[in-house]
Structures are given as C-alpha cells and as structure tokens.
C-alpha cells in the first residue's frame, strides 16, 4: 500500500484539506496529557506509580445510583430476559426524530436539572453524538466557512476541534482576565465584536459554556440578560453550552438562557437567535452513551439540525433505556440532589488539600474541575514557556495529567485545569499527596537556594568589610605619612580624631 503524501505525490493519494490540515488540535498539550496517561495509567495496586488522569472532566461520583436503578429495572434494557420481548421493535430502523418517549424524558430532565424554573418542548429536542456533535451541528446550521463566532476565553480546549475543524468557522476569543476573576462582561464582548467587524470579519454569533468550562463559575442572570439583548441588538446568534447545568454544588442557582428568554420582553429578545447545547455526559456521568442535544427556538435550525443528526444518532437501545430511567421522577430527583451533594464534598476535600500545599484556586460553584493557580511556581513569571516547562514536570515527575491554561486560550501563564470527579477517594488522596510533596520539595529547593544566596551575600559582605577595613588602614597610613609632611592634615593619633 502506498504512503499517503499530503500534497498527493506520484505514489500517494490526494487527500482533502480536512484530512491534511492540523486544525483538529490533537497535537496540543491538552491531548498530549491524555496520551501520556494512556501509556502509563495509574492503578492503586497494579500500577501505583503511574500517571493519574486529572485532565478528563468525567463525573463518576454517582454511577452507583445508576447501577442500582438498572438492577431494579431490568425491563429498561432489551438485553435482559425481562426486556428482550421488545428487542425487535427497538432493533429496527428508527428515523432521526428519535423515540418520542426519549425526547419527552430528555425535555423533563433538562427542566429538572435547571431547578424546575423552565420547561422544554420535546419537539425542539434534536439528537446528536454527544456535545461534540451537537456543537458542530449548530455551527453547520448557523455559519459558513470563514464566518466568526466570538468565544470567551479561557474556553474548553476541544472547541477548536468541535466548532471549526470541519465547519471552517473561525473562533475569535473574548479575553477575560484574573483581575475580575475571569468574569465575562458585556463590555468585553462588545469590544471584541467591534474589533472583529473592523477587521472585516463576518461575526455570526457568540458561544460560551455556562457553567464555565474550565472555570467552574456561573454567569449571573443580569449579565446573561444583557448578553441576550446584545445579540438581539446586533442580529447575531447566541449559543449557550449548558452541559454542566446540574453540576452546581454551591452558591446561587444556575440560570439557563431559557429562563432569560421566558423573562425578557419580546422587544428585548429575538428567540430565533437563541440556541442551547446539552448532553448527559457531565450531569449524569454518561459520556460513553454519546447523548448530545441541540435545542433551538428557531424552527429552521431545528429542521436542519434534525436532518444533520442522521450522521450522529443516539442508538435506539440507549434511547429506550434512558427514556425509562429519566421518566422515573423519584430516581431523577434523588440523583440530582445526591450528585450536587457529592460534588460539593469532593470539591471541598480537593481544594482544602490544595490549600494545605499553599495552592489557591479560582472560587467556583459548579463543574467537575478547579482552575488552579500555579503562577508562583513558574520559573519565569508571565512566561508561557515556563508554564509548559512546569506542565512537563507535573506530567513526567509528579505523574499527574493536568491541563495547562494555554490549552484553553488563557492569556495569563500559570493557570491549570484539574479534574476531581473522575476518580475514587483513594486515588484522589494519592493525587493530593503527590501535589503536596511536589510543592514541599519545590519550596525546600527555593529555601535552599535563598539560603545559598544569603550565604553568598554574607560572604560578599564580609569580603567587602575586610576590603574596607584594609583600605581604611591604608588610608590611615597614608594620612599619617602625609601628615608628617603636611601640617594641614591631622595625625591619626590625634586626640581630636579619637573623639
């Protein structure tokens, strides 16, 4: 078989631009960390010195509740003796609308995950292969190659793949800074929008995650309202990725953009411009089920997205089981409450452990991760090169896969996203111990270096003092010698000098 040459040489195949470009982002540090973990995965007994995966935002804290429900409801699966009688119906072809029961159950769950303050129309539920597929689908529906979407940074590292690799859409970051805890403001969006327009960019919309990935923060309702007003005023789309909606464990209630659409006057919001991306990957910890959702208030987008969903449908077997599970109100209510509680406890344990190592994190109230501040450990302050050096040390020496802030387009070196919900308690404690040991050793080295510097300074001072004393003696000798011949200069033995 001939080799594949990018330019399509004589002996190779001519490939598409997608096949030969490097826009996927697979070669970034974000994915390199995963590759390092895959080569040396940690296990408490089989590989206790391996790399601990802290770069994957998975929610494994409530899988026991799901397992228990499955055991108690064997009819929910067509692969059990109790449910196999429905196998033929489920195994047959299903159109891209999806099972009606599934769409209804998803709509109900989305409402419960948002505190029951808003309802969702099952007819607007469009399936996709995870949030990755959902985000790409909405881009295909809203923008053409070369069009621009504004995305506040730091943003999810794989957005470069999800939003632009195959669509050709361009991302223009809206840079946020630690000076206001990386809070997204309407002023920052307006500035980025004006700059893009002045550069002759065709801005089609604004997209962000709420709750934020990687920050774990929640956008307040007033800011969300003002952003809706902004996109309406400028006739551009707003896409809100709400896949962490049910991971809130503290602070204020999460406000969905669906609540804002309901609350605002019709003159303040053009609902045709508002779209939501959702998934069960984070809120329920089911990324392997590949359940992604596009929810749009625009009828044409719903129609187009539904046609495109043929390329990434959720299997009918998965739909069937989830329809039964998510229709169980008692289970869903308990799951959401227990998940929030367990996430809060895990977040508290992890951040307290980091604090013992003198490591601070951005204050967060949602998500499966923390935004960890390691700026004080950089070899050179405000250096991305130093950030990557530190990241390599953490991967290779500390044996933790964490994600550097530069992978999330953060403009300030030294921030890292660290996931805490994808492991058991024992593994978490090992990870914390490794972090604390690393910081302690680093502090000791710094102290030793400071001590060495202090000693060097003391030695230099001693030398200087000796030099001064020697020079002073020489000066006195010169004064004395000169005084013998110069009557205007006093002798060093003069009583006036001694006083």
Q: Please give the positions annotated as active site.
A: 156, 241, 243, 282
Q: How many CB atoms lie within 10 A of CB 62?
A: 21
Residue whose entry in the numeric block shows the structure tokens 């000798």: 477
Measure the CA–CA gap between 484 and 491, rounded to whole angstroms. 8
Burial of 112 (0-12, 13-18, 19+ CB in 10 A): middle
Residue 346 is given by DSSP the state H
Residue 407: closest CA among 136, 110, 57: 57
Residue whose entry in the numeric block shows the structure tokens 């470069």: 160
Judged by phi (left if over 0) then psi (alpha if -120 to 50, else beta), residue 116 lies in left
Distances (CA, A) of 206 to 18, 151, 275, 410: 24, 6, 11, 18
Measure the CA–CA gap between 297 and 238, rounded to whole angstroms. 11
Do the strands 170-175 and 148-153 form a parallel or antiparallel pair, or are they unpaired? parallel
Residues of 395-422 as b/e, b for ≥16 C-beta within 10 angstroms?
Answer: beebbbbbbbbbbbbbebbbbbbbbbbb
Triad 293, 403, 227: Cα angle to 5°: 45
Measure the CA–CA gap between 152 and 135, rounded to whole angstroms. 15
Long-range contacts of 485-494 (CB under 8 A, 24+ apart): none
SS3 319: helix
φ, ψ of residue 294 in degrees (nearest 5): -105, 125
Strand-pair partners of 172: 150
Strand-pair partners of 238: 206, 274
């Amino acid at each position: 078989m001939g080799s594949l040459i990018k330019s399509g040489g004589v002996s190779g195949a001519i490939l598409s631009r997608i096949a030969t470009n490097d826009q996927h982002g697979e070669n970034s540090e974000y994915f390199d960390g995963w590759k390092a973990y895959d080569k040396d995965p940690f296990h408490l007994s089989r590989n206790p010195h391996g790399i601990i995966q802290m770069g994957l935002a998975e929610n494994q804290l409530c899988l026991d509740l799901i397992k228990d429900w499955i055991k108690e409801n064997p009819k929910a699966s067509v692969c059990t003796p109790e449910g196999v009688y429905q196998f033929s119906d489920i195994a047959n072809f299903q159109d891209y609308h999806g099972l009606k029961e599934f769409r209804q159950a998803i709509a109900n769950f989305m409402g419960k995950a948002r505190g029951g303050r808003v309802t969702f129309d099952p007819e607007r539920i469009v399936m996709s292969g995870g949030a990755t597929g959902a985000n790409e689908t909405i881009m295909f529906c809203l923008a053409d190659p070369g069009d621009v979407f504004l995305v506040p940074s730091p943003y999810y590292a794989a957005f470069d793949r999800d939003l632009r690799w195959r669509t050709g859409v361009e991302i223009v970051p809206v840079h946020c800074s630690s000076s206001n805890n990386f809070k997204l403001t309407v002023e920052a969006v307006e500035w980025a929008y004006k700059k893009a327009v002045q550069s002759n960019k065709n801005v089609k919309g604004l997209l962000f995650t709420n709750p934020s990935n990687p920050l774990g923060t929640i956008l307040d309702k007033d800011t969300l309202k003002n952003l809706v007003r902004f996109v309406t005023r400028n006739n551009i789309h707003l896409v809100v990725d709400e896949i962490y909606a049910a991971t809130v464990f503290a602070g204020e209630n999460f406000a969905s953009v669906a609540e804002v659409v309901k609350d605002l006057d019709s003159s303040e919001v053009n609902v045709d411009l508002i779209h939501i991306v959702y998934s069960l990957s984070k809120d329920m910890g089911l990324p392997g089920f590949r359940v992604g959702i596009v929810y749009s208030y625009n009828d044409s987008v719903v129609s187009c997205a539904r046609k495109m969903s043929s390329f990434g449908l959720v299997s009918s077997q998965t739909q069937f089981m989830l329809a039964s599970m998510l229709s169980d109100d008692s289970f869903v209510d308990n799951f959401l409450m227990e998940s929030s509680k367990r996430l809060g406890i895990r977040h508290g344990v992890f951040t307290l452990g980091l604090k013992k190592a003198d490591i601070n994190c951005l204050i967060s109230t949602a998500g499966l991760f923390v935004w960890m501040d390691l700026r004080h450990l950089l070899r050179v302050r405000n250096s991305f090169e130093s950030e990557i050096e530190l990241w390599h040390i953490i991967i290779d020496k500390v044996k933790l896969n964490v994600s550097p802030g530069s992978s999330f387009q953060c403009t300030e070196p030294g921030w890292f996203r660290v996931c805490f919900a994808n492991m058991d308690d024992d593994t978490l404690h090992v990870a914390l111990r490794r972090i604390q040991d690393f910081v302690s050793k680093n502090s000791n080295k710094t102290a030793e270096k400071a001590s060495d510097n202090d000693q060097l300074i003391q030695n230099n001072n001693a030398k200087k003092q000796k030099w001064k004393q020697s020079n002073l003696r020489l000066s006195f000798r010169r004064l004395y010698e000169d005084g013998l011949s110069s009557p205007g200069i006093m002798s060093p033995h003069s009583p006036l000098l001694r006083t």
